[in-house]
Structure 1
Amino acid sequence: MPGKPSGLSLSPFDMPSPALAHFVRVAGSQSGQDRLFMVYQYAAYIAIAVLNSKRLRNKTRADVAIRIEKLRATISDARVLYRIFGIFPIIAWAQSLNDPARQPKDKQLLTLQRLQTWSMLLYYPLEHTYYLAGKGVFNISPQRIGKIAVWSCRFWAAYVVLQIFHIRRSFQLLRASRSALLRSTRERVRAGDAAPGVVEDERAQLAALATQEKNLKRDCWVQAGYLPLTAHWSIPGGILPNNVWVGVCGTIAGLAQLKGVWQATA
């Protein structure tokens, strides 16, 4: 008698696991891999601080903390390397904004997105330059590498600030769309129009608006994590007191993005 499908089962002798299949879809995508690595990269800062705390620290935990840090540094390095071709999707995005059929209909959103593409078009070459220079590919002094890294993060910070305004405008447009739809529904009800097709269409539109709102709220968490991070790296000496706060902010942004990838691959 066949058993019921399992949850997150790792046994090869069990029935197919829907949760494991879902995880494979996430981990098998480029965005999913990056988000999983990102969560580890930043959560590692918190784990290391806990293991090295006065209350818990001993020789064994200190050794574990060193191993966690080594893997964290490897993952951080790999994530920058994987972004080496990141500028090409940005160029494609910038080009799409010149197509009337694909660009946002709202002029504010269009302006914000155009500014965002410029910030990323400046961010990526600078990131690639300081990363490759740090590996010895380019002959640049350590002091200059540091300046390039700071300016790279400043353009990333600009993108984050613009994204916050983008979210704000998107919420305004969403509320206006919902109000218009509800107003249309009330007028239809007063007129006695209860055609099944119209009702189903309105329900579908409301569901789509609810999904947009949920995605915008999740993006708020992403930017809430990124804003202090990018500000920290954009100012020599930083603004966050220690790496624990870097870990907290990065983990918040990473988990919010990972949740989006998880839901998109459901």
Structure 2
Amino acid sequence: MLDALSTKEQRQGTNTFTPYQLPRQRLTPSSTEPPAPGQTTSLATPQNAEITESTPKPPEKKHVGLKAPVAVKKLDGFISHLNRVIHTRDGHDSVILFAAYVAQLAAAILETSGNANLRKWANKVVALVPKALASRVPSLPLGSKLFSLFSAAPRLQLRLAERLRALVDMLDDWSVMSRLWGLLTMWMLAKGFITTPNTDDKEPRVRKVKTAISATQIVSLIGFFVLENVAWLSRRKVLAWSDKSQPKLILWCVRSWGVYVFAELGRLLFERVRKRRAEAGQGDAEARTQWNKQFVENLAWAPLTVHWTTPGGLLPESVAALLASYAQFISVQGLWKEAAETAETA
């Protein structure tokens, strides 16, 4: 769905948000035996005549392919499958967003744990050492290394968190740039919504509800893409919107995405109620599993839309990053399965 707020804007005091992922359209060595060596033939010849015998050909060597270790085969399979996933637009965006959320979560954990927890852990370790030995530990070569490691670990921890923050910034810009074409997709969805009437449902009430939900989602996503593009291009000095107006654009951008998320939750609940009445408990297990995944994914995004539109936020950064990582993991998991099924049928 949507990716996380830019970390840069968090450090500037503005609410960061998870950029949205476009909804997927559902329209959507062997060895051979060596030849037998040449055989010598014995012919009747006159005495004192020279006899020439054919020498046997040396047997051809079998070319045995190198057997790769199991770990290498598994790594090759993973990379090949990942390559198939990122060569689709949905897969490309999902993998980038998932990597950004995981990096943000790791950075938040590293910064939250800080020096205090590490010092407590080091003090507990030192407390286990007998007092007679504790006084001699710093003078021992290994002891001096351990103490220097304890003193350097907090600095390394914060330095790693800083590197992860820089990675999040890069992935955030990457994901926003990949969504600059999102308005073209929304144009096609809006055109299909207007020109293609809903004839699948015979009940007028059902058609009205579905039409209202679809219209709400399309309008909210159009607003999301327009506001995000304007804010990002203004930050890059392509457009002339002031720095003061950019936080407001981002705020309304996230609100637009929040409207889509809650509309999607409403659509899923409406479909669930209708199917339960029609099927009377005889539903497809695979369809129920897919519905559960979509519902949990949007349910994880819902509190984040409120968190990112509230001054100061409602959740700790680590909790928000964990929810975003889990929601995006569900999306990547579905795309991973689809790529596997496509590879099997190809």
Asked if TM exceeds 0.5, the reply is yes
Question: Which of structures 1 and 2 has the bigger CA Rg?
Answer: 2
Q: 1:61 Cα deviation (Å)?
A: 2.0
SS in 1 for 2:165: helix
The residue aligned with 2:308 is 233
Change (3 A) 1:25 1:129: same
Q: Is the 8 A contact 1:7 1:17 kept in 2?
A: no
The residue aligned with 1:83 is 179
TM-score with structure 1 setting the length: 0.78
Separation (CA, whole Å) in 2 of partners of 1:254 and 1:8: 30
Separation (CA, whole Å) in 2 of partners of 1:170 and 1:18: 37
Change (3 A) 1:116 1:211: same
Name structure 1 gaps, 5 residues minimum. Answer: 183-205
Pairing 1:51–2:126 present: no
Q: Is the 8 A contact 2:93 2:175 kept in 1?
A: yes
Higher helix share: 1
Amino acid at match of 1:146: P
Pairing 1:211–2:295 present: no
Q: 1:99 Cα deviation (Å)?
A: 4.2
Separation (CA, whole Å) in 2 of partners of 1:16 and 1:6: 11
Change (3 A) 1:6 1:178: farther
Q: Is the 8 A contact 2:213 2:263 kept in 1?
A: yes
The residue aligned with 2:235 is 134
Separation (CA, whole Å) in 2 of partners of 1:19 and 1:158: 36
The residue aligned with 2:162 is 66
- 1:19-53 deviations in whole A, cap 9, x for unaligned? 44322211222211211211121122221133231
Corresponding residue pairs, total: 235
Q: Which residue of 313, 319, 326 corresponds with 1:245?
A: 319
The residue aligned with 2:336 is 262
TM-score with structure 2 setting the length: 0.61
Pairing 1:118–2:213 present: no
Change (3 A) 1:70 1:114: same
The residue aligned with 2:258 is 157
The residue aligned with 1:38 is 97
SS in 2 for 1:239: coil
RMSD: 2.7
Separation (CA, whole Å) in 2 of partners of 1:16 and 1:58: 33
- 1:232-255 deviations in whole A, cap 9, x for unaligned? 222333322x32122112112111
- 1:72-91 deviations in whole A, cap 9, x for unaligned? 11001110111001112122
Separation (CA, whole Å) in 2 of partners of 1:61 and 1:159: 38
Q: Is the 8 A contact 1:225 1:251 kept in 2?
A: no
Identity over aligned residues, as a percent? 21
SS in 2 for 1:237: coil
Separation (CA, whole Å) in 1 of partners of 2:280 and 2:223: 39
